[in-house]
A = this chain, B = another copy of it.
């Protein structure tokens, strides 16, 4: 693509470095900025810079935070005996939005993936072990929920963490896999459907 101006060429090149944004979308976004007030672009770029420069991570659960300890970890209303282990920050947001979980989190920052060169040491697994083995906490961790993606890498990571946690004798669970609410049986892939039959829930026992 030939651009009539160096300024727009630079802007398009920078925007199209973002994931999922090609040159055409980048051009559309750049031209949109030109049609807005100057303050629009100023607010956008200062928000991005502030995020990148001032972001902090909770030093307990590694979620994004404005403080040294995040609002979940420091809240007196959260159940500190349960830790939900997730791959990354959007997963925390997704679970928080369900309003179904009242425990703490632990953000691994990824999953074990030998192909991408991500080993256990690149993730916050040891920090998780430290949290569980800590002697000085009043609230002893009783359960770890593994909420990792249902992929080979996610399963590998779940397996690795489960084995590492064995010595502590705490409950380790994983979120249920099955047919999504509202999902049609006939359009569900066979692996999910097969698993959902094998891991069926006993109604009569409730």
A residues engaging B (CB < 8 A)? 1-8, 10-11, 13-15, 17-20, 25, 27-34, 38, 40-56, 63-66, 70-72, 88-90, 92-93, 96-97
A–B Cβ pairs within 8 angstroms, 19 of them: A3-B93, A4-B71, A4-B72, A4-B92, A5-B55, A7-B50, A7-B55, A10-B51, A17-B40, A18-B32, A20-B25, A27-B90, A31-B90, A33-B48, A33-B52, A34-B51, A38-B53, A41-B49, A45-B46
For the complex, what is the distance from the CA of A168 to the CA of B64, rounded to whole Å?
65
A6 to B53, CA, bound (A): 13
Bound complex: CA of A7 vs CA of B54, how far in Å? 8
Output the nearest chain B residue to A67 by Cβ-Cβ distance. B5
* Chain B residue with the shortest CB-CB distance to A96: B2
Tell me if A30 and B51 are in contact (CB < 8 A). Answer: yes
Partner of A19, one of B11, B29, B51, B63: B29
Question: With A and B bound together, what is the CA distance between A136 and B90 in angstroms?
Answer: 63
**Contact of B27 with A93 in the complex, beta carbons under 8 Å:** yes
Residue of chain B at shortest CB distance from A38: B52
B89 touches A31 (CB 8 A): yes
Interface pair B49/A90, CB less than 8 Å apart: no
Residue among A13, A42, A52 with the most chain B CB within 10 A?
A: A52
